[in-house]
A and B are shown apart, each in its own frame.
Chain A
Amino acid sequence: MTPTLYTHVLDAECYKVRLLAALLGLPLDCVAVDSYPGEETRSEAFLALAPAGTLPVLEAGGLVLCGAPAILTWLAATGDVTEGWMPQDPAPRAQMQMWLGFSQRLSATAGAARLEAMFDMPAPEGALAAAEACLRELELHLAIRAVDDGAWLVGDHPCIADIACFADVALCPDAGLLHDEFPFLRHWLYRLRALPGFLPMPGIHPLHELRAG
């Protein structure tokens, strides 16, 4: 049975789920929720489904999951036959959790700054500066990984934490925070966009075919 994803086309958290599903080749029944401008996430019907009043929400059979980290975990656990997206060994598994936690710092800073820049939704004081500090942290991690020829956050395969961090980092320019100063981040973003089955969203352009023919 195809899971139902309650989603908004401009929401970075929802995009994480749609992106992983696309990369895994998993179908989703997407239901558009008018969170902006209609504030449908505050409606009684939506709050009955997701008490926090936030997107994304995934429904599969009797299971209801709220929030990108939980849904990414479930998608990888049930739909990834390669097991590459969710490492099983204790150390990388825990590192993945660490970066999933980091992705929530990104969404609270970079994500909030983006919503303010685009839709006038007030962001916490200093969100943009905190977002920039997150980018520096991630840049340093990727630089150190590159010394060991590691291209991804953990191990030699992108994991769900790469997806969880990718969305807000890639969308930073929407808030006026550019990638120019972060060469390792740019390389990581590019590699993710080059994955087979990659799904763009407004603000994250697809890679154009560079080779002739």
Chain B
Amino acid sequence: MSREHALDDWYPVADTVLPQIRATRLLDTDLSVAWDGETASVTGPDGTAYPAEIRFDHVWTCLGPAPRPLFGIEEADQPGRRRVPCGGVRVRCSPLRAVENFLDIAHFPYVHTGILGAEPHTEVFPYEVKIREEVDEVWATKVSFYQPQAAKSAGGATDIRYEYRVPHPMAAVLYKTCPPRPSEWDVIAIFVQPVSETVCIAWPWMALFDDTSSQAELVQFQQEIFLQDRSILENQIPAGLPLDPRMEIPTRADLTSVAYRRWLKRRGALYGALTEAE
């Protein structure tokens, strides 16, 4: 059931950084992805050709018969922004847990010490969470947090403002104070490729204003942060994301996660989830 619902969404299966032929797996199906620098193709083991779409510097595909539209990020094409695909990282965890971790602020001082947070500045201040019905997306707004090194372009510690957006069960977009241009947001996203219900490949991607850092520096700044999360994600139990409110007791800091889980449940996006307490 849950896989059937998941089949009609688009997922990233490769980046477009370099031409390549890539053997990979999506929703328990083996795929071959070819990208020659101009066009992409996605083929199944029986020769089935699946649709291929290039968006946000990645090749996206959909295995189902009735693809839901793929979301947009308008900043992706804004002049002056640098787009930074960071490569894929395989994680032995539910694709939904990878998204939920991206939405969590409370772990910053402990896991991303000295970069996205620092003790004793551990308090998560109240913020607002809403399911925006008109677009069917989860939004968290008015988030603020003390960060020692919020971005490669940040000179030092600052209070950083955040907005989170979940436009897809397996993707999340973060809008964050842009240190060199206070009137703009930096955009950082995570696109998750569900390999199976308990294995995923995360494709971090950014669209930033930064005229000084090299591409390698920007990529590695983000990779370092994401890889700090990897070992923690691989040790979360149970493997599936629990959607039954009886299974875990959230705190106020977890409001975004609560809304995300509720949104997944009502949407029927259950691939990678646990729906009932065991």
Contacts and interface: CB of A to CB of B under 8 A. Distances in A.
Interface string A193-213: 000000001110110000000
B90 A10 contact: no
Interface string A1-43: 0000000111000000000000000000000111011111000
Given A37-B86, A118-B89, A174 B230 contact: yes
B223 A39 contact: no
B217 A32 contact: yes
Contacts of B113: 206
A149 interface: no
A34 B213 CA distance: 13
B17 A37 contact: yes
Interface in B220-274: 220-221, 223-224, 226-228, 230-231, 234
Nearest to A6: B216
B85 A9 contact: no
A-side interface size class: 20 to 34
A5 to B, nearest CB: 13
B231 A119 contact: no
A10 B92 contact: no
Contact of A173 (B87, B88, B231): B231
B92 A202 contact: no
B17 A8 contact: no
A174 B231 CA distance: 7
B219 interface: yes
B89 A38 contact: no
Interface of B: 15, 17-18, 24, 85-90, 92, 113, 201, 214-217, 219-221, 223-224, 226-228, 230-231, 234
20 contacts: A8-B220, A9-B220, A10-B227, A32-B214, A32-B217, A36-B87, A37-B85, A37-B86, A37-B87, A40-B216, A118-B90, A119-B87, A120-B88, A120-B90, A174-B230, A174-B231, A176-B92, A202-B223, A203-B228, A205-B231
